[in-house]
């Protein structure tokens, strides 16, 4: 547990040193614990939401969300009844996070091969579990806190009952939260790739690290934006 926490906070506060240690790990057990734990907890939260029948909200409230953030972000992308969508998310959440983890590591490994890199698939699994999922965990925790603490006040705030500042905060917090934290995760993926290849004795140019960060960042962006509601 201590090692897990050191990697989790170290990935944010001391990324270079933490990524060096992660790239030297001989087992993916700690990384898998983070990814699996996140997938299970997220799935359980969606299942509780389904059981409580708190999504979708009443149509009048849903129309307000749509007017602020658009239909794509509020309504299911797939042809699944809205009342069943949280159950669907509860079922797919663990496979989804595992798929994202594997796709990111596979993409980085493939690019590494194309660019003459030597870091292994397991190294990228260890690195991306903490360079990316650490930020996703934080985003999920902050987003959940935002909804739990401010839930009864969100609609009045959007409608301006608490003033312009409160309205602007409520409207902009969710998109800014995910944009900032997921962008940082993409940057940290690139830094993790640079660290792994440097340890392998490969000079990995800045543009290569940038490409790794961008393309590994693309998988969660596509899947999360298309599926999670």
pLDDT tens for each residue of 139-190: 999 998 998 888 888 889 888 888 889 999 989 998 899 989 999 999 999 9
The pTM score is: 0.90
Mean pLDDT of the 12-32 span: 93
Instruction: Tell me: pLDDT of 30 over 90.
Output: yes
137 to 36, 39, 70, 114, 196: CA distances (angstroms): 12, 10, 25, 31, 23
Instruction: Tell me: pLDDT of 46 over 80.
Output: yes
The token pair that represents 186 in the structure block: 């993409």
Backbone angles phi, psi at 28, to 5 degrees: -100, 15
Other Cβ atoms less than 10 A from the Cβ of 30: the count is: 18
pLDDT of res. 190: 93
pLDDT of res. 147: 86
Q: Which of 100, 83, 90 is nearest to 45 (CA)?
A: 90
Torsion on CA atoms 200, 20, 182, 209, rounded to nearest 10: -30
Mean pLDDT of the 68-96 span: 88
Domain range annotation of the chain:
2-227
Which residues, 6+ apart, have CB-to-CB distance to 173 below 8 Å?
146
């Amino acid at each position: 547990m201590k090692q897990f926490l050191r990697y989790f906070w170290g990935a944010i506060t001391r990324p270079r040193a933490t990524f060096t240690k992660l790239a030297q790990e001989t087992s993916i057990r700690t990384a898998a614990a983070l990814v699996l734990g996140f997938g299970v907890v997220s799935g359980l939260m969606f299942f509780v939401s389904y059981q409580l029948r708190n999504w979708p909200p009443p149509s009048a409230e849903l129309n307000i969300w749509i007017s602020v953030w658009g239909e794509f972000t509020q309504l299911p992308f797939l042809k699944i009844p809205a009342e069943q969508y949280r159950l669907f998310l509860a079922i797919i959440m663990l496979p989804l996070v595992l798929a994202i983890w594997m796709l990111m590591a596979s993409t980085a490994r493939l690019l590494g091969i194309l660019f003459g890199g030597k870091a292994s698939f397991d190294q990228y699994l260890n690195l991306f579990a903490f360079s990316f999922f650490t930020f996703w965990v934080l985003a999920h925790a902050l987003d959940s806190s935002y909804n739990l603490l401010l839930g009864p006040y969100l609609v009045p705030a959007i409608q301006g009952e608490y003033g312009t500042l409160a309205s602007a905060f409520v409207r902009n917090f969710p998109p800014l939260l995910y944009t900032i934290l997921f962008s940082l995760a993409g940057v940290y993926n690139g830094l993790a790739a640079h660290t792994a290849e440097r340890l392998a004795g490969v000079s990995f140019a800045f543009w290569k690290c940038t490409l790794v960060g961008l393309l590994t960042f693309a998988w969660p962006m596509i899947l999360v934006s298309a599926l999670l509601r």
